[in-house]
Structure 1
Amino acid sequence: MNVLVITGSNRKHATSTRLAEYAAQLIREKGHDAVLFNLYETPLPFYAPDEKMEDNTHVAELKSRMLEAKAVILATPEYHGSISGVLKNALDHLGQSYFSGKPVLSISSSGGAVGVSSLLQLQAIVRNLHGINAPEWISIGGSQRRRFEATYDGYEEYEGSSDIEERVQRVVGSFLQLAQALNPDQKP
């Protein structure tokens, strides 16, 4: 099954992007395809409904990858209690035909305790795009982010490190079960 992972940060080594990369790794380990669309590396022009943007290679690539995807992960940092502007801009470039009937997992990283506000907003957007929200989400915050920081070398111990990985593994597994149930013809 083809899963598109859209990372919505404007930082090179964002913890939300690294969390999304970890989720993509877990999906690949389960035998599925996981493609990252990193909005830091592949920036999109500002959405303007009166302008045709099909000539923009990044917009065309995003739309093509969305059409190929059977499931989607949306990853965002939480900025001021909301999703990132670059992710919202990317979602504005897409419409219901790109999300309709597809399972969507929302994940976030917050400098505070957790990024629940951004996840609630993502789920509202997904509903309006006729996607199917996964019943669980992933939010990391505070010291939990350490595992996904660029300087993390895998040898450091920090409070809750195994709990974070176990939670991500469980939620990604649950998301794949939902995606498989909605796409029974797709095999790993």
Structure 2
Amino acid sequence: MKVTLIAGSTRPDASTTKLCQYIARLLNEKGHETEVFNLQEHILPLYGPGEAYGHEEVQKLSAAAKSADALVLATPEYHGSLSGVLKNALDFLNSDYFNNKAVLSANSAGGVVGTASLLHLQTIVRNLHGINCPEWISIGGTQREFDAEGAPVDEGAELRIRTAVASFADLAEKLNKVF
């Protein structure tokens, strides 16, 4: 199974991107193929009709999402919602990229926990005909720290991430058998 993870932060060394990389590592350990599409590296034009769809980075995003059997959307939580760059990226995609695919939503919040951005992501996923994983991941405060090997320092956060990723992989595998 191929999983595309879209890291929706523009900050170098962002905890959102580290979270995506850790999720990818867990999925790789279970034999899944992963691609982390980092929006800090892949700078997209602002969404609009017309020629923007032909932009090289939009084509890369489209290919990464289209080829995936399942998706992970990760965002920092800004002002109670997802990042502008992730929303912009999602605006370039339609239901052809999400239809009947499992989607895991994840965030990294400045406070203890941030769920508003996760609720917004799940609404977007439903509108794109994706299937939301019933689990989600929110790390905040000191839970956003990762060690030199890329693993969460906080044991509770690490367990929560592993649990959510296992649930997501199970859902994705079941959906891939059906669809």
TM over 0.5, shorter chain: yes
Please list the CA deviations of residues 132-171 of structure 1 after superposition, one character each: whole Å capped at 9, or x if unmatched.
0000100001121123xxxx436xx96xx21211111111
What's the counterpart of residue 84 of structure 1? 83
What's the counterpart of residue 103 of structure 2? 104
- Work out the CA distance in 1 between the residues paired with 2:12 and 2:145: 16
What's the counterpart of residue 162 of structure 1? 155
Q: CA deviation at 1:96?
A: 1.0
1:74 aligns with 2:43: no
- Work out the CA distance in 2 between the residues paired with 1:87 and 1:105: 14
- 2:148 pairs, out of 144, 153, 172, with 153
What's the counterpart of residue 8 of structure 1? 8
Moved over 6 A (4+): none
**Structure 1, unaligned runs of 5 or more:** none
What's the counterpart of residue 132 of structure 2? 133
What's the counterpart of residue 173 of structure 2? 180
Higher gyration radius (CA): 1
Query: Matched residue of 1:54: which SS?
Result: helix
What's the counterpart of residue 43 of structure 1? 43
Please list the CA deviations of residues 9-64 of structure 1 after superposition, one character each: whole Å capped at 9, or x if unmatched.
01011101101100000000000001010000001000012x23232111011111
TM-score (norm 1): 0.90
- Work out the CA distance in 1 between the residues paired with 2:74 and 2:27: 15
> Residue 122 of structure 1 aligns to which amino acid in structure 2?
L
- Work out the CA distance in 1 between the residues paired with 2:103 and 2:58: 20
Q: CA deviation at 1:185?
A: 8.0
> Residue 87 of structure 1 aligns to which amino acid in structure 2?
L
How many residue pairs were aligned? 177
- Work out the CA distance in 1 between the residues paired with 2:178 and 2:100: 15
Residues 13-32 of structure 1 correspond to what in structure 2 (within 5 A)? 13-32=13-32
Identity within the alignment, %:
51
- Work out the CA distance in 2 between the residues paired with 1:111 and 1:54: 33
